[in-house]
Amino acid sequence: MTTTDLLVVRGLVAGYGAAPVLRAIDLTVPAGTIAAVVGANGAGKTTLLRALSGMIRPAAGQVLLAGEDLRGTPVEQLVRRGMAHVPEGRGVISELTVDENLRLGGLWRRDRADAGRALDEVYQLFEPLARRRRHLGHQLSGGERQMLALGRALVGRPRLLLLDEPSLGLAPRVVARTMALLRQLRDRTGLTVLLVEQNVRSALAVADQGVVMSLGRVVIAAPAAQLRDDVDLRHAYLGF
Ligand SMILES: Nc1ncnc2c1ncn2[C@@H]1O[C@H](COP(=O)(O)OP(=O)(O)OP(=O)(O)O)[C@@H](O)[C@H]1O
């Protein structure tokens, strides 16, 4: 595992109108690690992912991906540089088949042969998707749709995966499987993950770093183990 910082965020300010939601976010995520972003409803977690993936334009601050400043970079270029965003609600296209949805994730890649290999790898990783290649998006269960959204992102071979609430609406067993998969991807491929989760326990169990947000700021960024084990910290910042 490399110790290079893949994502560095400095003084990021962003929002939807005149009043900013993110108020000077600072964040560092080393390559090959999982950072879990947790915090109360409305803290700005989803907004942070949107600002990083170019869905909303930051008003101020700096985002570096592997040392490269991303300011002004079009969304399509962000994808080419290795950023993949799986939004809350997942964005699976209901009218397309599993296979078509997955192929969308690799359409932009010039290396067609490797895009094909990445697709095969995703089918190996998600066996239920391989069995349902011809099924339409709307015929899938919630857990399968989550797999599909994640799989589609992975077909692009991202370096940084921005994952918003993957556990939303899923059975505990499926949540556990998703978290185990993230750990496996980190360990086997060196994938770096910024994981936004309401399910704090599950997220901290899999993460290397815990990032607690409140009112548009990062109030603590610490090793996940420290947040898990320190009762005072948990009471103060996470309420359990
Ligand atoms: N599209 C939007 N337009 C205007 N304001 C928005 C929009 N999306 C979110 N907000 C506001 O931004 C603030 C932060 O929301 P955000 O969704 O980032 O929080 P969150 O920490 O992800 O919370 P949750 O866990 O509830 O999704 C909230 O006050 C919310 O009302």
Distances (CA, A) of 238 to 10, 41, 198, 219: 24, 12, 11, 11
Q: Which of 23-27, 30-34, 146-150, 157-161 has the lowest mean pLDDT?
A: 146-150
Q: Which of 21, 41, 198 to mutate to test the pocket of ligand 1 (most atoms within 8 A of CB)?
A: 21
> Band of the pLDDT at 240, cuts 50, 70, 90?
confident
Write out pLDDT tens, residues 106-138: 888 888 888 899 999 999 989 999 999 999 999
161 ligand 1 Cβ < 6 A = no
End-to-end CA separation in angstroms for the chain: 32
Q: Ligand 1 centre from 15 Cα, in Å?
A: 9
What is the interface pTM, i.e. ipTM, of the complex? 0.95
Residue with the smallest CA separation from ligand 1 atom 18 is: 44
User: Are the beta carbons of 106 and 119 closer than 8 angstroms?
Assistant: yes
3.40.50.300, 3.30.930.10, 3.40.50.620, 3.30.1860.10: CATH of 5-82+160-238: 3.40.50.300
Residue 2 has pLDDT above 70, yes or no: no
Query: Hey, how many other C-beta atoms are within 10 angstroms of the C-beta on 4?
Result: 11
Write out pLDDT tens, residues 78-113: 999 999 999 987 788 999 999 999 999 888 888 888
Between 211 and 76, the more confident residue is 211
Q: Is the dihedral of CA 225, 231, 232, 237 positive or negative?
A: positive
**Whole-prediction pTM:** 0.93
Q: Torsions phi, psi of 11, nearest 5? A: 60, 35
Distances (CA, A) of 196 to 1, 113, 134, 199, 240: 22, 32, 31, 9, 18
Give domain limits for the chain.
5-82+160-238, 95-157
Q: Which of 16, 38, 55 to mutate to test the pocket of ligand 1 (most atoms within 8 A of CB)?
A: 16
